Amino acid sequence: MSINKHTKSIFQHFEKYIRLSDTLKSELANRIIPTTFKKGELVHNAQNICSKSYFIRKGLMRTYFIKDGKEISEYFSAENEWVNSPRSFMQQKLDIYSIDTLEETECYSLNVKDLVFLFDNFPEMERYARLSMGTVFGHYLERITSMRFTTAKEKYIHFCEIYHDIFHRIPLGMVSSYLGITQETLSRIRAEK
């Protein structure tokens, strides 16, 4: 098993949640594939079933859907996060989400078949999935509450808190579509700060 400094970063991520045996490390190292995408590259098209999940080592991706011909940003993923089209990836069905890159992005890809193998052969991987998904579900619940019960300014403040490390890397048009407000309204809110 070859563990280089890049593989080490993904192992460190897993070890926040579970203990990695040497056997599991070896299986992971054999199944994760280093991948690089250029800025603006389409990583996943909603017209296809999502067969890979991506762990971002460096860079920024956006998950979005098209409504009435407009791109609506659903969420953003950066360093040390996984990204895929969740329902399409887990159920192997078409979904509405596409994924693209906002920066040149270095990541690892993991095929759904390899993930199933890991779940079937390493019970600790199911524990990892359960614990790490808790964070994702918490984020979604906060987003739903923010979208339904807050003003445009409160939505923006919440966005800045959630994405405090990366909000300055996201184009304003994508931020306004994420918040469900016009870019003019966003500019006005930002000018008030």
Picking from 177, 185, 188, the residue whose alpha carbon sits closest to that of residue 66 is 177
**pLDDT score, position 144:** 78
Is 169 inside a domain boundary? no
Residue 190 within a domain = no
Characterize 142-164 residue by residue with b for buried, 16 or more Cβ atoms within 10 angstroms of its Cβ, and e for exposed: ebeebeeeeebbebbebbeebbe
The pLDDT assigned to 122 comes to: 95
158 occurs within a structural domain: no
| Domain CATH code at residue 104 | 2.60.120.10
- Of residues 152, 144, 138, the one with CA closest to residue 189: 152
Say what the pLDDT of residue 7 is: 77
Q: Measure the CA–CA gap between 181 and 177, rounded to whole angstroms.
A: 6
Per the domain annotation, does 163 fall within a domain? no
pTM across the whole model: 0.89
Number of domains into which the chain is organized:
1
- Any domain includes 101: yes
- The reply to whether 177 falls in a domain is no
Q: What pLDDT, on the 0 to 100 scale, is given for residue 132? A: 82
Per-residue DSSP letter, 178: H
In a domain, 160, yes or no: no
The pLDDT value given to residue 1 = 42
Residue 76 in domain: yes
| pLDDT for the residue 136 | 67
Sequence-distant (≥ 6) Cβ neighbours of residue 117 within 8 angstroms = 27, 31
pLDDT tens for each residue of the chain, 193 residues long = 445 566 788 899 999 999 999 999 999 999 999 999 999 999 999 999 999 999 999 999 999 999 999 999 999 999 999 999 988 998 999 999 999 999 999 999 999 999 999 999 999 998 998 888 766 666 677 777 777 778 889 889 989 988 999 999 999 999 999 999 999 999 999 988 6
Domain that holds residue 102: 5-149
What does residue 55 show for φ and ψ, rounded to 5 degrees?
-100, 115
